Amino acid sequence: MNQKNQQNQAQIVYFSHGGGPLPILGDASHKAMVNFMLQLPSQLRKPDAILVISAHWEESSATLLGSQTPPMFYDYYGFPDEAYGITYSAPGSPEVANRVASILNKNNISARIDSQRGFDHGLFIPLKLMYPQADIPALQLSLLQGLNPDAHISLGRALRELMHENILVIGSGFSFHNMAAFSWNEINTPDPANDAFQNWLIEVCTGPILQSEREQRLIEWEKAPSARYCHPREEHLLPLHVCLGMADKPASTIFNDYILGKRAVAFLW
């Protein structure tokens, strides 16, 4: 692929965004994740826009953040005052929002624009680490209420129309998200059940299998080892479904380390 074509090719990442504002507040159990986020842009071309599918936004229809100047939406509770002073001043992109909504509607996925909602921490925490200059237009796409895995694969398939644009698509979730099982004392605890699920994710996302099998296995993710232990509720996993549906190819594992004492992974397509 020549350089010009590479510049007109979407980049797709799924990663774990950590616990609330803790990555920005210097929490030691997020050190590996923070280091990963800081160096990740060196593996990527600078995009013209960033589209984030955040685990922290669910709507009855696919909804795009459409503000030109999105406010902050502090969707976490019980943290020090400084957690509510974090800002990320990147511009929005109503133009991209409207284009994505049009693509989805054309593919029989009901989509709309929300011009009031702000950046939630699924966007502003990782992007503050990755692109602190806040000079790249950013927007969000919601998950779908009901959390149907097939619907989120289909959402990703529709987004393939963006594959020849210099857009960075980020699935911002967490490959392990059992709040009761996290280690809040900064100790990485061996967890064979979680290891089995993370290894399953790596096999499905990166292994030499047909895309149709890859998608079907992710649709049937509850059959994976320790699936419901790792995801009592699947909203932090489903951004992966969108990414994998869009990518239509195997991923590379770009993070395989501990966050909040539990192993988590990230993928790049």
pLDDT along the chain (269 residues), means of 10: 63 97 95 98 98 98 98 95 98 98 98 98 99 99 99 98 98 96 80 98 98 98 98 99 98 98 98
Segment holding 171, helix H or strand E: strand 167-173
Output the CA angle 20-24-27, nearest 5 degrees: 80
Cα–Cα nearest to 231, from 222, 218, 239: 222
- Residue 1's CB: how many other CB atoms inside 10 A? 8
User: Is 267 in contact with 252 (CB distance < 8 Å)?
Assistant: yes
> pLDDT at position 2, please?
41
CATH architecture label of 3-268:
3-Layer(aba) Sandwich (3.40)
> pLDDT at position 184, please?
75
Residue partners of 191: CB distance under 8 A and separation at least 6 = 181, 262, 263
- Residue 213's CB: how many other CB atoms inside 10 A? 11
- Classified as helix, coil or strand, 139 is strand
Tell me whether strands 111-114 and 62-65 are parallel, antiparallel or unpaired. Answer: parallel
- Residue 22's CB: how many other CB atoms inside 10 A? 22
- Residue 127's CB: how many other CB atoms inside 10 A? 23
User: Is 249 in contact with 269 (CB distance < 8 Å)?
Assistant: yes
> pLDDT at position 130, please?
99
- Residue 81's CB: how many other CB atoms inside 10 A? 6
| Residue 252, both tokens | 């590379």
DSSP per-residue codes, 39-107 = HGGGGSPPPSEEEEEEEEEEESSEEEE--SS--B-----S--GGGGS--------HHHHHHHHHHHHHT
